[in-house]
Amino acid sequence: MTLTGSHLIAGRESAPHGHFYHGVNPATSAKLEPAYADASSNEADEALAAAEGAFDALRLATPETRAALLDAIADEIMALGEPLLERAHAETGLPMARVTGERGRAVGQCKLFAALIRDGSWADARIDHAIPDRQPLPKPDVRRVMMPIGPVVVFGASNFPFAIGVVGTDTVCALVAGCPVVVKGHPAHPGTCEMLGRAVVKALQKVGLPAGSFSLLHGKGTEIGMALVKHPLTQAVGFTGSLRGGRALMDAAAERDHPIPVYAEMGSINPVFVLPGALKERASKIAEGYIGSVTMGVGQFCTNPAIVLGLKGTELKQFVSNAAAHATKVAPQSMLHRGICEAYDAGTAVWRTIDGLELAGQSAAEAKDEATQAACRIFTTTLDVLEANEELRREVFGPCSIITECPTLDDMLRFANSLEGQLTAMIHGTEQDLIDYAPLLRVLEKKVGRLIFNAFATGIEVCPSMHHGGPYPAASHSHFTSIGTASIYRWVRPVCYQGFPDSALPEPLQGKNARQAMRLVDGALTRDDA
């Protein structure tokens, strides 16, 4: 495929103009062709007007057609073949094995949402039949179902070019729900964005859905993203990235005449509590798994375990030395882009100025600056130092982590109580530890979106039960997930019909349960006709 740098607006190519930028290979610092440029506010207008124009056709298309769109997107992604993987690898520095695996996840997500929409139960149809002779008042016929909200703006993340990007969860579940999508491409991998955007354009043509259902606008800097969030036709925003970026978009959306939701997933420090039983039983194994998790994807995961807490003692000391030994063996790797690498080095350099924080171990090999590499760095400290220094409790994106000695369980609990909202927390222990330390679990339930026992949070399973979110500042709305099939609920809202004849109701609410979806009829779940 020849890349042109064009914005893709409702199937029309709009040549780049104005302020140009390029993708850059972080491993070589080589500039990658072609040039991309910031979309203008006119282009944002055009994309959103087309999205609004496509909304009725998309939402009223049959579930089979929308499912076929996702199948077609999956096919078009695969049809891009090796050149897509090579471009993503060049633009992100992520190894070929990783980008290949992530492409599999993106294609799998398309299939999962296609199956969801074909089954139909996701629409949460509820039917309460009328009881005209109820005393003292008759009960009306009331029915409720989820409906798509309209044009959605999606910001992809730098660290998941496929699974949280142009064809990531946000985009595919919005399209399948019936919401047109305008994607703001990530400037760190614009060529990958263009290839994937062209795949979506082709898929729309293939299934005969309106071209306005999808646009891709490139841009570097805040202007075009802000214009999209403030645009009066935008109904909701999906974002994965930094707290600073997510918060700016949330504030802009709240200031609109008609505020709209911004579903932002903004990262986390993901504390790990290593309880005494586990330390006694398998300190070395946990340490190995921990370093594997800290360094997975060069630490560029929002589920990276940034802080470990354990009770002071010889076993924790052994754990620190095991972790340090594993850290030395980790080869430095290229990060996604120079900005992230510089932020990592600056963040850990600030940590090193803090009294009471020690470097326990780091990659033996030196990181090559020209290859935008980061070395693994594992620190150790005490709870009073962690509590006294706010910067140690802020996410530093990259392969670093701090192991913290807690004097007593009460101290550990106090720290857990002081945590801000987190995406995840991990507990390593025995079943007996969970009984002995039950109060810790009770505190963490209030703080996080996902609790993990005897494993690490990196490597998210995409499934119906997954929750990837959490209380602010991990995410903007703790109720919603950005990964897994439940993420579709960000793009729909309930609409209630009272007293309508069967023939005028949307299909999921009619008496005949055409697709045998699970529905709540008069208070009972059933796949039968109502």
Q: Which residues of this protein are in contact with ligand NAP, per CB under 6 A?
A: 155, 157-159, 184, 186-187, 219-222, 225-226, 240-242, 245, 248-249, 265-267, 302, 340, 343, 395, 397
User: CA-to-CA distance for 450 and 452, rounded, in angstroms?
Assistant: 7
In the complex, least distance from residue 37 CB atom to ligand NAP, rounded to whole angstroms? 12
Looking at the Cβ atoms of 151 and 361, the one nearer to ligand NAP is 151
**What single DSSP character describes residue 523?**
T
Looking at the Cβ atoms of 169 and 322, the one nearer to ligand NAP is 169
Could you confirm whether 265 is annotated as catalytic?
yes
In the complex, least distance from residue 359 CB atom to ligand NAP, rounded to whole angstroms? 21
In the complex, least distance from residue 226 CB atom to ligand NAP, rounded to whole angstroms? 5
In the complex, least distance from residue 159 CB atom to ligand NAP, rounded to whole angstroms? 4
In the complex, least distance from residue 188 CB atom to ligand NAP, rounded to whole angstroms? 6
Contact, 454 vs 429, CB < 8 A?
A: yes
User: CA-to-CA distance for 480 and 494, rounded, in angstroms?
Assistant: 15
Looking at the Cβ atoms of 244 and 258, the one nearer to ligand NAP is 244
Look up tokens 């730098």; give the residue.
158
User: CA-to-CA distance for 153 and 238, rounded, in angstroms?
Assistant: 6
Contacts of 342-350 spanning 24+ positions with Cβ under 8 A: 343/396, 343/397, 343/398, 344/299, 344/374, 344/396, 344/397, 344/398, 344/399, 344/400, 345/374, 347/391, 347/394, 347/396, 347/397, 347/398, 347/400, 348/377, 348/396, 348/398, 348/400, 350/391
Looking at the Cβ atoms of 51 and 248, the one nearer to ligand NAP is 248
Q: 184-196: string of b/e by CB count within 10 Å (b at 16+)?
A: bbbbbbbbbbbbb
Could you confirm whether 33 is annotated as catalytic?
no
Amino acid making up residue 109? Q
Report the alpha-carbon angle 456-376-382, nearest 5: 70
Contact, 161 vs 192, CB < 8 A?
A: yes
Looking at the Cβ atoms of 153 and 324, the one nearer to ligand NAP is 153
Q: Is 216 helix (H, G, I), strand (E, B) or coil?
A: strand
In the complex, least distance from residue 314 CB atom to ligand NAP, rounded to whole angstroms? 35
Which residue in the list 265, 376, 400, 405 is annotated as catalytic?
A: 265
Total Cβ atoms within 10 A of residue 315: 16
Is residue 42 left, alpha or beta, with left meaning phi > 0 and alpha meaning psi from -120 to 50?
alpha
Which residue in the list 173, 302, 376, 406 is annotated as catalytic?
A: 302
In the complex, least distance from residue 152 CB atom to ligand NAP, rounded to whole angstroms? 15
User: CA-to-CA distance for 392 and 226, rounded, in angstroms?
Assistant: 31
Looking at the Cβ atoms of 78 and 226, the one nearer to ligand NAP is 226
Looking at the Cβ atoms of 223 and 358, the one nearer to ligand NAP is 223
What phi, psi does 243 have (nearest 5°)?
A: -60, -40
Looking at the Cβ atoms of 175 and 341, the one nearer to ligand NAP is 341
User: CA-to-CA distance for 210 and 43, rounded, in angstroms?
Assistant: 18
In the complex, least distance from residue 160 CB atom to ligand NAP, rounded to whole angstroms? 8
Q: List % helix, strand, coil for the chain (3-state, nearest 5).
A: 45, 20, 35
Give the tokens for residue 35: 């040039």
Is residue 221 left, alpha or beta, with left meaning phi > 0 and alpha meaning psi from -120 to 50?
left
Contact, 507 vs 164, CB < 8 A?
A: no
Where in the sequence numbering do the catalytic residues fall?
265, 302
